[in-house]
Amino acid sequence: MAKDQLQVLNALDVAKTQWYHFTAIVIAGMGFFTDAYDLFCISLVTKLLGRIYYYKEGSDSPGTLPDNVASAVNGVALCGTLAGQLFFGWLGDKMGRKRVYGMTLMMMVICSLASGLSFGKEPKAVMITLCFFRFWLGFGIGGDYPLSATIMSEYANKKTRGAFIAAVFAMQGFGILSGGMVAIIVSAAFKANFPAPIYSANPAASTVPEADYIWRIILMFGAIPALLTYYWRMKMPETARYTALVAKNAKQAAADMSKVLQVELEAEQEKVEQEKGKNDFGLFSAKFVRRHGLHLIGTTVTWFLLDVAYYSQNLFQKDIFTAIGWIPKAKTMNAIEEVYKIARAQTLIALCSTVPGYWFTVALIDKIGRFAIQLMGFFFMTVFMFALAIPYHHWTLPDHRIGFVVLYSLTFFFSNFGPNTTTFVVPAEIFPARLRSTCHGISAASGKAGAIVGAFGFLYLADTSGVKKALLILGGANFLGMLFTFLVPESKGKSLEEMSGEAEEEKGTTATVPV
Q: What is the mean pLDDT of residues 471-481?
A: 93
Residue 319 has pLDDT above 80, yes or no: no
Of 219, 200, 62, 27, the residue nearest 131 (C-alpha): 219
pLDDT of residue 267: 74
Cα–Cα dist 453/187, whole Å: 32
Q: What is the mean pLDDT of residues 106-110?
A: 94
pLDDT of residue 506: 39
Residue 149 contacts residue 428 (beta carbons within 8 Å): yes
Q: Which residues lie below 8 Å from residue 406, measured CB to CB, with a gap of 6+?
A: none
pLDDT of residue 277: 60
Residue 25 contacts residue 168 (beta carbons within 8 Å): yes
Residue 259 has pLDDT above 90, yes or no: no
- Alpha-carbon separation of residue 126 from 118, 183, 205 (angstroms): 6, 21, 22
Residue 210 has pLDDT above 80, yes or no: yes
Q: Please indicate whether residue 333 or residue 464 has the higher confidence score (pLDDT).
A: 333
Residue 76 has pLDDT above 60, yes or no: yes
pLDDT of residue 316: 63
Residue 88 contacts residue 244 (beta carbons within 8 Å): no
Q: What is the pLDDT of residues 415-469, one digit of tens each?
A: 999 999 999 999 999 999 999 999 999 999 999 999 998 878 777 777 777 778 8
* Domains (range + CATH), the chain: 9-502 (1.20.1250.20)
Cα–Cα dist 54/184, whole Å: 23
Cα–Cα dist 361/100, whole Å: 28
Q: How confident is the model at residue 263 (pLDDT cuts 50, 70, 90)?
A: confident
Cα–Cα dist 305/310, whole Å: 9
Of 194, 222, 124, the residue nearest 339 (C-alpha): 194
pLDDT of residue 2: 45
Q: What is the mean pLDDT of residues 486-511?
A: 75
> Angle between the 161-193 and 123-155 helix axes, to the nearest 10 degrees?
150
Q: How confident is the model at residue 509 (pLDDT cuts 50, 70, 90)?
A: very low
Share of the chain above pLDDT 90, in %: 54
User: What's the pTM value of the predicted model, to 2 decimals?
Assistant: 0.91
Cα–Cα dist 99/95, whole Å: 7
Angle at 479 between CA 477 and CA 480, to 5 degrees: 65
pLDDT of residue 512: 42
Share of the chain above pLDDT 70, in %: 93
The 10 Å Cβ neighbour count of residue 397 is 10
pLDDT of residue 461: 78
The 10 Å Cβ neighbour count of residue 197 is 12
pLDDT of residue 504: 66
Q: What is the mean pLDDT of residues 285-294?
A: 92
pLDDT of residue 170: 94
Residue 255 has pLDDT above 80, yes or no: yes
pLDDT of residue 467: 76
Cα–Cα dist 467/448, whole Å: 22
Q: How confident is the model at residue 513 (pLDDT cuts 50, 70, 90)?
A: very low
Report CA torsion sign: 15, 494, 153, 362: negative
Cα–Cα dist 187/448, whole Å: 31
Largest alpha-carbon pair distance within the chain?
80
Q: What is the mean pLDDT of residues 58-82?
A: 90
Q: What is the pLDDT of residues 124-161, one digit of tens each?
A: 999 999 999 999 999 999 999 999 999 999 999 999 99
Cα–Cα dist 105/128, whole Å: 23
pLDDT of residue 430: 95
Residue 272 has pLDDT above 80, yes or no: no
Cα–Cα dist 383/452, whole Å: 24
